[in-house]
Amino acid sequence: MELTVRTSGTYRIMIERGCMDAVGERAGELFKPGAKAVVISDSNVLPLYGKRILNSLEAAGFSASLFSFPAGEESKRLSSIEAMYAECAARGLTRSDFLVALGGGVTGDMAGFAAATFLRGIPFIQIPTTLLAQIDSSVGGKTGVDLPQGKNLVGAFHQPALVLIDPDTLSTLSPRYFSDGMAEAIKYGCIKSRELFDMILREDVSQKIEELIFRCVDIKREVVERDEFDTGERMLLNFGHTFGHALEKLYDFKKLSHGEAVGIGMVMMAKCGESKGITKAGTANEIIAALEKYNLPTKDEMPAGRVIEATALDKKNSGNRISLILLKEIGESFVDEVFRGSLAELTGVL
Ligand code: NAD
Ligand code: ZN
């Protein structure tokens, strides 16, 4: 399956079992023979797939090397980017050369940011290996790193030159990370597609993984094509994230994974909408059923008042107004800007 994204850069997304082995051939359509490539990957993914990528690039006539960093969100910081710059400079990369991000969202965000800024921008290829990276972070061009003051505070928009999604990589992924990605898949269904939501709820997605990824990526494509720089519609992708981010922070990113927190956030938002008569009755229960199917939590003992208070820390808010993503029903969403003060009334419903 293939898709084309038309933003400031136009690029193809290939979704196919085993397609990572075609990276050399595909890159051959984009870059000159003999170009240099630095493959960036973390300490878990590199031993699993690094050699295959290197072999494919070399067979296609590229001069490729591997660069690895310690796996984990703790690595997503400027010092890692500096190490990547050093590698690119030592290898003498020019703007005719390229980077390859091989790994999850952490790898993609960092390799993308290094590519966005080294020599004021060189191309990069995304080969996402977690479900989250395959359906979300590898598409859309948001790249960046964390600061001690908060997540994703430094970054750039830089679209990839190509995205190769190989669903076979999910066979080595831990079940918790798979569920984490499923929370985002459920989110896509909630905001844009009843059909996708029903597929997730009623069918065995492991048997239809390419179709699942395709449908999710197609929604992301549509949204980022309309709002590449995140000033309007792209906000819909934050459904469940306002309360989700607050929960993640309240637990200092230790108790809940991102997907787990977002899942709980989606249920909270649906309940808020239902209590106001905006969201169709029964929606929260449908989301709960979908989350439970993928072993995701649906509630947390943190008092709702504290979660609401913690939304003040969200970088996406300006002043005393906050943008909430609400559902009319599964498959239909909208952005509602409300006064922060009015959030307090919701404590009772949550
Ligand atoms: P991650 O990259 O840390 O990967 C999760 C873990 O799985 C890591 O330990 C990794 O080594 C391991 N792993 C990856 N692929 C594997 C495989 N195939 N087999 C075995 N192990 C594998 O985390 P993630 O959940 O993929 O991504 C989270 C990051 O993505 C966050 O930093 C978040 O901010 C970012 N993100 C970015 C965007 C965007 O639009 N740019 C969107 C959503 C999330
Ligand atoms: Zn998310």
Instruction: Look at ligand 1, atom 21, and give the residue with the nearest C-alpha.
Output: 173
Please, what is the angle between helix 194-202 and helix 209-226, to 10°?
A: 150
Name the residue of 49, 76, 137 whose CB sits within 8 Å of the most ligand 1 atoms, as the mutation to test its pocket: 137
Instruction: Look at ligand 1, atom 33, and give the residue with the nearest C-alpha.
Output: 105
The closest of 36, 66, 69 to 51, measured between CA atoms, is 66
Domains of the chain listed by start with CATH number = 2-172 (3.40.50.1970), 175-349 (1.20.1090.10)
Burial of 305 (0-12, 13-18, 19+ CB in 10 A): middle
Region 318-338: mean pLDDT is: 88
Instruction: For the chain, give the mean pLDDT.
Output: 94
3 state SS of 339 = strand
The confidence score (pLDDT) of residue 338 equals: 79
Strand partners, 323: 337
d(CA 232, CA 218): 18
CA atoms within 13 A on the CB side of 345: 9
The confidence score (pLDDT) of residue 42 equals: 98
Q: Is 42 in the pocket of ligand 1 (CB under 6 A)?
A: yes
Ligand nearest to the CA of 158: 1
Q: How far, in Å, is the centroid of ligand 1 from the Cα of 253? A: 14
Is the pLDDT confidence value at 346 over 80? Answer: no
The confidence score (pLDDT) of residue 350 equals: 73
CA 87 to chain centre: 26
The confidence score (pLDDT) of residue 311 equals: 86
d(CA 329, CA 288): 14
- Rounded (10°) CA dihedral 12, 14, 19, 21: 10
d(CA 327, CA 333): 4
Q: How far, in Å, is the centroid of ligand 1 from the Cα of 110? A: 11
220 among the known binding-site residues? no
| 80 contacts: CB under 8 Å, gap ≥ 6 | 69, 110, 145
Instruction: Look at ligand 1, atom 40, and give the residue with the nearest C-alpha.
Output: 137
pLDDT in tens, 75-128: 999 999 999 999 999 999 999 999 999 999 999 999 999 999 999 999 999 999
Instruction: Supply the ipTM of this predicted assembly.
Output: 0.99
184 among the known binding-site residues? yes
The confidence score (pLDDT) of residue 35 equals: 98
Strand partners, 102: 41, 127
Q: Which two tokens stand for residue 186?
A: 């459920």
d(CA 66, CA 214): 29
pLDDT in tens, 121-150: 999 999 999 999 999 999 999 999 999 988
Q: Kindly indicate the confidence band of residue 271, based on its pLDDT and cuts at 50, 70 and 90.
A: very high
In the chain, DSSP finds a helix count (H) and a strand count (E) of 13, 11
Name the residue of 41, 45, 102, 256 whose CB sits within 8 Å of the most ligand 1 atoms, as the mutation to test its pocket: 45
The confidence score (pLDDT) of residue 348 equals: 67
Q: Kindly indicate the confidence band of residue 317, based on its pLDDT and cuts at 50, 70 and 90.
A: low
- Rounded (10°) CA dihedral 243, 245, 247, 252: -170
Q: Kindly indicate the confidence band of residue 73, based on its pLDDT and cuts at 50, 70 and 90.
A: very high
The confidence score (pLDDT) of residue 314 equals: 66
The confidence score (pLDDT) of residue 322 equals: 84
Q: Which two tokens stand for residue 140?
A: 């859309």
In degrees, to the nearest 5, what angle opens at C-alpha 329 toward C-alphas 326 and 335?
25
The confidence score (pLDDT) of residue 335 equals: 92
Q: How far, in Å, is the centroid of ligand 1 from the Cα of 105? A: 4
Ligand nearest to the CA of 178: 1
H helix intervals, the chain: 23-28, 45-59, 78-90, 105-117, 131-132, 175-192, 194-202, 209-226, 241-250, 258-275, 283-293, 304-310, 340-343
Name the residue of 177, 234, 257, 316 whose CB sits within 8 Å of the most ligand 1 atoms, as the mutation to test its pocket: 177
Question: Which residue carries 């909408």 as its tokens?
Answer: 273
